[in-house]
Amino acid sequence: MASVADSVASNNNTSAGDAAAEPGAAGDADICGVAQPLYPPAPMIGHLTNDEIDALNDVFSRMEMFEAEETARIRYRHTFSLSVCQHVA
């Protein structure tokens, strides 16, 4: 998993020429000719201490872990409900 500092640093290192090549950059138009919205700028984290960045990384790790557990619970419920339906039918 990339850290917060790595992802922000990579976002801040793109030049204007790079941004135009990304989907959603200014000037991109969809099939109807309507301009796509711009992506929001990357958050500025240069003022944060290493401890604060570590805390953010911990929060993001817990969030990913929670989402993985929730996905597993949903899959289990879906599998259980399918097996119950098969026994009823």
Confirm if 18 and 25 have CB atoms less than 8 A apart: no
Range of the domain at 78: 48-89
Please determine, for residue 47, whether its predicted confidence score (pLDDT) is greater than 50: yes
Q: Do both 52 and 87 map to the same domain?
A: yes
Amino acid 65 reads M
Look up residue 35 and give its DSSP letter: B
Please determine, for residue 24, whether its predicted confidence score (pLDDT) is greater than 50: no
Confirm if 11 and 43 have CB atoms less than 8 A apart: no
Listed ranges 13-17, 22-26, 43-47; the one with the highest mean pLDDT = 43-47
Q: Do both 52 and 22 map to the same domain?
A: no
Q: Do both 70 and 35 map to the same domain?
A: no
Q: How many domains does the chain have?
A: 2
Q: Do both 3 and 24 map to the same domain?
A: yes
Q: Do both 78 and 62 map to the same domain?
A: yes
Q: Do both 54 and 25 map to the same domain?
A: no
pTM for the structure as a whole? 0.47
